[in-house]
Every structure is written in structure tokens, then in C-alpha cells.
Amino acid sequence: MSVNKRISLLFLCGAGLLSQGYSPVLQAEAEQSVPYYEQNLALLKDNEGVRPAAIPVHPVTAAYNREAIIPPMCYTRTEGQYNPCYVCHQNPQPGRENTLGDGALQVAYSFSDLGLTNHWKNLFEDRSERVAKISDAEITDWINQDNYSELAPRLREAEFKGWIPDLENLAGAAAAFDNQGFARDGSDWIAFNYKPFPSTFWPTNGSTDDVMIRLAPEYRSDSDGKPSRDIYLANLAVTEANLKELDAITTFPVDEARVGKDLDGDGKLGVIERITVLDGYLGKASNYFLQRGTYPQGTEFLHTVRYVGVDAQGDIGPSRRMKEVRYLKKQVSYPLVALREYYREEGYSKDAGYLPGYARLGDFGLDNGMGWSVSGFIEDRHGRLRAYTFEENLSCMGCHNSIGSTIDKTFAFPRKPDGAAGYGYIDLKSLQDVPNRGETEGEYLTYLSRVGGGGEFRSNPEMQAKWFDKDGGLKRSELEAVASIYDIITPSLARALELNKAYRVIVEDQDYIYGKDATVVPPHNVYDLVDNETSPTLPFDKFHDWDIRLDWRSALPGQNIAQGH
């Protein structure tokens, strides 16, 4: 699709759907003395519908923070020596789809004038008293409730036009999937294991999560259009190998006769578990173009963000209750030459000081400008899931559009163990702290040493006490001796309960536009205002090249991690 056609399409989608989401729900004349965003927050506290209530003005006009794509962690104090920024901001790597090149953000706070102020004011709220009023029994009962299963019926009743959750029993976490990761309900969603990104989804910092992938129907069907698990497995392997630049990859057993191709190059058609012929898709999609470093068109991701659950044995894991249900779909597959131009335009816009803007797609969320639609659902005041507001959705774009480390705008799939070993519901106890590609020490060990703290805010006292000595030195030997990453990034029961209570307070307030981080007291290493002249920046010797992908070949002997090479 040409750039002009793309712009026309986005304009038509944005303009044509403006009338669909924000119906008048206030009195005829809104009080001009109260900011629009505060009027919207007041409405959300009383909202009962699956669509969020909003005043009848354009959502950009009502936005509190037009720079919501700058996430809270970007305001962390680096103090001239600590670098939590490198895992997001990277210069282009040869052969990669992502050519944004924002590595300079590791060493400088290059914000717009508006972005110099930290708008995530929930970070600076002391919730101690409110958290103390929530009992352990109350919060445990809260997180063990299923608020997912009723979402789809409510959406259908509301004649919701966007994606409606279609994976049954997802509140049951691992119980919803078989041992190959396939959803038991036949929806073709597939769960995969992966190493949580530092440190956003470390349970010790407030949330657990899981991610599922589904390829478009053509990639799950044989040449006659009939569903085929062999074809699906083979196309998943081709997709993963393409993203990770692998020349071979393991798979669950695939019958080459059913696929109609010799995938291991041995000159025979048999049942194989390793694929070396990775030059194209199979089945109904056999004539579709395989583009380097990108997902095929129609690829979907389902991501649930949950409270920090605790089971009967005291183990940390996903709760039944969901904080958010997030959905991405690759609606358009742009050629690499077009994507390079879009990245260049992104850079020009930032240099010119333009504030970010994205086309609204009504119930389908926002268009990230790179082919993906981004949407989701979040808890209302009563804990029932509702669709994002415009501004809540806008905050997703900071990670799924405008940072240099992602692969085709995604995080989790490139971080799964290679091949067959990576499929199945997320299991932190099965994963070791393997290094990133190009590095030799464990990723989390390396991250903690560069950040000087237990997370992106450098303000996790439990992690500080566990992995740093009294002088701030990293306890390397203890980190190197852990059995799995579970032992590194999960909190104590007391901290898990405290973090869950803190988030419960934010749910009651419905002020997600001020931040969703489950903090009880304000983190002390975060700026409320950045001064480009006086705020310490990092010297260039603290800059780090980094690959989001992991070197699973370095797993210790005996661990069930396929090398895939």
C-alpha cells in the first residue's frame, strides 16, 4: 500500500468512526470551569457499561496527557551512572525491521516541552492509609474472582464492533491449554512460555501476565482451506525462525506428507521434529510473501495482565482476576521500505516537537501507524472489565510503536524459548536466567547490575535487600546460583498482598490516566519534573547495545530448552 493510500485509509477510519464511541452522557452543557479530563474521570466512577462513558467532545481535546506515550519509568533518576533505559531504547541493528534508532534516549532526557513534566502523578500518591484498610482476606478474595468470563457476553449485548474475547476459561490460566499450548476450546489460540521483559512484568513489581498468539486462518489451513494442525505448527515455526533469524528450529511432530513439503531436507516425507527448510509459509498461505523480521498479516496477540496470585502452596503466579485484557492484530503488512519511511517520519515528528497522534478505529482501538490495531479492556470501579478510554489506549503506543528494541512492535514472542520447548503456558520455574544474544552473563543479573536496583524505578526495597549488599553492590554469586528466574523476580507473600491492595485503590479511583503502577508510597528515584539543563544524564560509557532476543543455547545442561539452531 502506498503512503498516500495509507494516509487516506487512516483518515477515513479516524473520521468515519468519530461518532461511534463518545455519545453524550452528561447534561447538555458541560461546566467549562472543570477540565474535560476531570469530567471524564467523574463519569468513569459511575460507569456501568462495557464501553467507557465520556463527555461529548473529541477525545484529544479531553486528554489530560498528550504525551501519554512517554511511560512513567522514563522519569527515573539515572544519577549519572544507572541505566534502566537500554532495554527499550536502541539504535537499529542490521537486518531488523525496527529502524527507529532511539538509542540516544539512554543518555539524555530528550522530551518535548510537555513531556518534561511527569504527568503520572499516581506515582507520587501515598496510599498507605487506604491500603492498610484492606484486609488480606479481602484482597485475596478479590483477586481470586473471575471477571473475564462475563466480558464477551456483555460486549455482544452492547453490539460491540471490535474484537470480542473468544478464548474460554482463560481465568483458569494454564488449565485453558493443552501440553502443546493449544487452547482446549478449539479457538486456535496458543500460549507460549517466555522470559518476562525487565522489569515491567516481574511479579515483584506488581503484575503477572500471559501472552497467546494466533495466526490468520490461511496459516492454519491446508491448500484446500481445511484446518490442519501440521500446517499450523509448521507456519508457527517458520514465523518464529524468521523473527529470530534462525536457520533451524524444533517443533512438535509434523507430518511432512500432510504438509506436502520436505521440511528437514532429507529427501523423504516423514514425521519430523526439526525444520531446516524455512523459506516460505505452508498450506493455504504457501503463495504468501515471507518478509524478513515481521509477522504475517492477520497475526493476533492476546495479553492478559493480572494481579500477583498466590496458590495454596504459597507459590506466586497469575491470579484469576484480570487487571487488563490486551489485544493486538496485524491488520496490514507493510513492506520494509515503507516501514523504514514511517520510522523516519516518526523521528522527524519528534525532532519537530509535534505531539503524537493516532487514528481512532472506534471499538477496534487505535491504529499504531505501522499496521497494528491496539485495543483492550480494563477494570471499572466494580472490577468488571470495560473497554479502554481513548487516553488509556493512547498510553499503549509508547511501547507498541515508538521504541527501538521491539521486533515488529512486540516483546514476548521474540523472548520465548526457541521452538517446541517454548510452547505451553508461562512457567517461570522452567526458565533460567539466560543471557541476551551477544552477551555472556544472565540477562536479569546484567540488568540489575546496570540499573542499581530491583526494577525500572530503582525503588523496590525487597529486591534491594535480596540482591544487593548494604553498600549497593550486586550479590552476583547468589544470583548465579538460583534454580530459575522464579527465584529472582517473585515477591514475598506480604509484598504480593501489598501490591495487590495498592492497585485495588487505583481501580476504585479509576484514574488510570495518572498511572497504573502499584505503588504504596512514592518511589524516591523518580522525577516529577525534568530539567534538560540540570537533570544528570548518563555518560556514553554507560550506553549499551542490546538485543531483546535471548541466547537459549546457553541454558545449563539438563534443562528442557530446545536450542533451535
**pLDDT, one tens digit for every residue, the chain (565 residues):** 333 333 333 333 433 333 334 444 444 344 568 999 999 999 999 999 999 999 999 999 999 999 999 999 999 999 999 999 999 999 998 888 999 999 999 998 888 999 999 999 999 999 999 999 999 999 999 999 999 999 999 999 999 999 999 999 999 999 999 999 999 999 999 999 999 999 888 999 999 999 999 999 999 999 999 999 999 999 999 999 999 999 999 999 999 999 999 999 999 999 999 999 999 999 999 999 999 999 999 999 999 999 999 999 999 999 999 999 999 999 999 999 999 999 998 888 877 878 888 999 999 999 999 999 999 999 999 999 999 999 999 999 989 988 999 999 999 999 999 999 999 999 999 999 999 999 999 999 999 999 999 999 999 999 999 999 999 999 999 999 999 999 999 999 999 999 999 999 999 999 999 999 999 999 999 999 998 778 888 999 999 999 999 999 987 554 444 433 3
**Rounded distance, CA 233 to CA 220, Å?**
8
Cα atoms found within 13 Å of the Cα of residue 41, Cβ hemisphere only: 16
**Beta-strand (E) ranges in 261-405?**
271-275, 300-310, 316-330, 366-367, 372-379, 385-387
What angle is formed at CA 435 by the lines to CA 429 and CA 436, rounded to 5 degrees? 115
Contact 276, 248 (CB under 8 A): yes
3 state SS of 533: coil
Only one residue has cell 546457553, namely: 554
Only one residue has cell 483492550, namely: 376
**Rounded distance, CA 102 to CA 86, Å?**
10
